[in-house]
Amino acid sequence: MAKFDGIFEIKGTLQGMSFYKSKDGMLIRKKGGVDKSRIKNDPAFQRTRENGSEFGHNAKMGQLMRKSVANLLSLAKDYRVSSRMSQAMSRIKNLDFTSPRGDRKVWIGIASDEGKQALRGFDFNLNSPFNSVFRSQYVLDTVTGAVTIANFNPATNLSLPQGATHASFSVSVASVDFELENYGTTYSPKENFALVDGSLDLTLTPSGMPGGTGSTFFYFLIEFFQELNGVQYPLKNNSHNVLYLMEVV
């Protein structure tokens, strides 16, 4: 796909070319393509139909997972998280070795450890990856969802963005049933602390474990703030915040 770098900004269609603006700049796409009815019915496009069906399934499952943590995503995400999540769902779908091509399912693939591994360690904001920001150890209890962090020093165990005076930690647990397309999510209280030298022992405990069936996802959220006149404000529109998928069971 071509990029447009002219002195005039063009949007829409001109001489069979479509011009549109994205986060990567102005892009150009040639109009045209195969008739939709032919793609839908022509045997020659069977593979195209299969790919399209699975692509839509991946996107839908990724959207379901994002909805399960929508409150967290409003605090920490990058602008490509939707497409990255769809790609992860595609890898999981590929682990369905029982369904016919074109009908492979995420809920079958994620039942395997390989499927779960495709999402473990997923960073929702690649501008602030967890392992680059958090420089300590934590212990996750997958029975209760609680996370404990011992001897944590905010001044040295976090990579601190410029201007930050405080941070908060919290954890969440989401149960997502991809087949039934439902979910439940629980949250811990937020532990807020000043970014000064010292030692903290932290325990982050969700209000409970979400009910329902399906897969269970354990999340860690880090937020940064700047204090002014006794009020803490989100630092730089949350651009430095971290949302990390610790574990999938």
- Say if residue 28 is in the same domain as residue 41: no
More confident residue, 4 or 154: 154
pLDDT band at 157 (very low <50, low <70, confident <90, very high): very high
pTM score of the predicted model? 0.82
Query: Are 114 and 106 a contacting pair, CB within 8 Å?
Result: no
Q: Is residue 122 part of a domain?
A: no
- Say if residue 165 is in the same domain as residue 58: no
CB neighbourhood size of 195 (10 A): 18
Q: Is residue 146 part of a domain?
A: yes
CA-CA distances (angstroms) from residue 229 to 225, 226, 232?
Answer: 13, 10, 8
**Six-digit token pair at 24?**
């990567």
Return the minimum-mean-pLDDT range out of 138-142, 175-179, 197-201, 236-240. 236-240
Q: How many domains does the chain have?
A: 3
Q: Among residues of the chain, what percentage have pLDDT more than 90?
A: 74
Q: Is residue 89 part of a domain?
A: yes
Query: Are 212 and 204 a contacting pair, CB within 8 Å?
Result: no
Q: Is residue 63 part of a domain?
A: yes
pLDDT reading at 122 higher than 80: yes
Query: Are 148 and 131 a contacting pair, CB within 8 Å?
Result: no
Q: Is residue 224 part of a domain?
A: yes
Query: Are 106 and 178 a contacting pair, CB within 8 Å?
Result: yes
Helices (H), the chain: 36-41, 46-68, 70-73, 81-93, 106-109, 113-117, 130-133
Return the minimum-mean-pLDDT range out of 28-37, 67-76, 195-204. 28-37
pLDDT reading at 225 higher than 70: yes
First and final C-alpha spacing in the chain: 40
Last residue of a domain, one of 117, 144, 176: 117
Determine the average pLDDT of the residues in 182-192.
Answer: 98
Nearest CA among 117, 183, 190 for reference residue 147: 190
pLDDT band at 11 (very low <50, low <70, confident <90, very high): low
Q: Is residue 47 part of a domain?
A: yes
pLDDT reading at 49 higher than 70: no
Determine the average pLDDT of the residues in 120-129.
Answer: 98
pLDDT reading at 37 higher than 80: no
- Say if residue 169 is in the same domain as residue 238: yes
**Six-digit token pair at 214?**
């399906």
Determine the average pLDDT of the residues in 94-104.
Answer: 93
pLDDT reading at 238 higher than 90: yes
- Say if residue 28 is in the same domain as residue 61: no
More confident residue, 22 or 199: 199
Determine the average pLDDT of the residues in 21-35.
Answer: 65
Last residue of a domain, one of 117, 140, 161: 117
pLDDT reported for residue 213: 87
- Look over the chain and give the mean of its residue pLDDT values, rounded to a whole number: 89
Residue 189 carries which DSSP code? Answer: P
Place of tokens 């070319």: 17
pLDDT band at 194 (very low <50, low <70, confident <90, very high): very high
- Say if residue 85 is in the same domain as residue 2: no
Q: Is residue 123 part of a domain?
A: no
- Say if residue 144 is in the same domain as residue 244: yes
Q: Is residue 125 part of a domain?
A: no
pLDDT reported for residue 52: 62
Residues whose CB is less than 8 angstroms from the CB of residue 154 and which lie 6 or more positions away in sequence, other chains included = 167, 193, 194, 195, 196, 197, 198, 200
Give the residue numbers spanning the domain of 179. Answer: 130-248
pLDDT reading at 24 higher than 90: no
Determine the average pLDDT of the residues in 174-197.
Answer: 97
Query: Are 17 and 4 a contacting pair, CB within 8 Å?
Result: no
The edge-to-edge listing of strands for the beta sheet with 17-22 is 2-4, 25-30, 17-22, 12-14
pLDDT reported for residue 211: 86
Last residue of a domain, one of 96, 117, 138: 117
- Say if residue 7 is in the same domain as residue 96: no
Q: Among residues of the chain, what percentage have pLDDT more than 70?
A: 79
pLDDT reported for residue 7: 54
- Say if residue 21 is in the same domain as residue 42: no
- Say if residue 6 is in the same domain as residue 74: no
Reported in sequence order, the residue ranges of the chain that DSSP labels E, i.e. its strands, are 2-4, 12-14, 17-22, 25-30, 139-140, 147-152, 166-177, 182-187, 191-194, 200-204, 215-228, 231-234, 242-248
Q: What gap in Å lies between CA 142 and CA 144, rounded to an integer?
A: 6
